[in-house]
């Protein structure tokens, strides 16, 4: 996507990796963005999917990630 960064939402340190793979230390920097353009393809489109949801659905999807729920709360307050 393209757009304007509205404000920072915080950062989260975690170990990347899935399905039991050995991961590496990573940092997620969250930002609130006003999207002005959406692309059908992007550099990670084969590895990640984009899903636009309302805030209540986002809360449900992030239920097991309290640190991401905190970012969502900052974005909506």
pLDDT of residue 57: 97
Q: Is the pTM of this model over 0.95?
A: no
User: Is residue 38 within 8 Å of 1, Cβ to Cβ?
Assistant: yes
- Domain residue spans in the chain? 2-39+49-76
Angstrom distance (rounded) from CA 40 to CA 38: 7
Q: Which of 9-13, 18-22, 42-46 has the lowest mean pLDDT?
A: 18-22
Note the pLDDT tens digit of each residue in 25-53: 889 999 999 999 999 999 999 998 999 99
User: Is residue 30 within 8 Å of 8, Cβ to Cβ?
Assistant: yes
Could you count the other beta carbons within 10 Å of the beta carbon of residue 13? 9
Q: Exposed, middle or buried: residue 71 (CB in 10 Å: 0-12, 13-18, 19+)?
A: buried
pLDDT of residue 5: 96
């Amino acid at each position: 996507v393209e757009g304007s960064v509205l404000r920072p939402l915080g950062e989260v340190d975690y170990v990347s990796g899935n399905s039991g793979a050995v991961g590496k230390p990573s940092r997620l920097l969250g930002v609130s963005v006003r999207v002005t353009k959406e692309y059908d393809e992007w550099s990670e489109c084969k590895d990640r999917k984009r899903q636009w949801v309302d805030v209540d659905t986002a809360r449900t999807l992030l239920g097991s990630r309290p640190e991401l729920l905190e970012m969502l709360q900052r974005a909506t307050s």
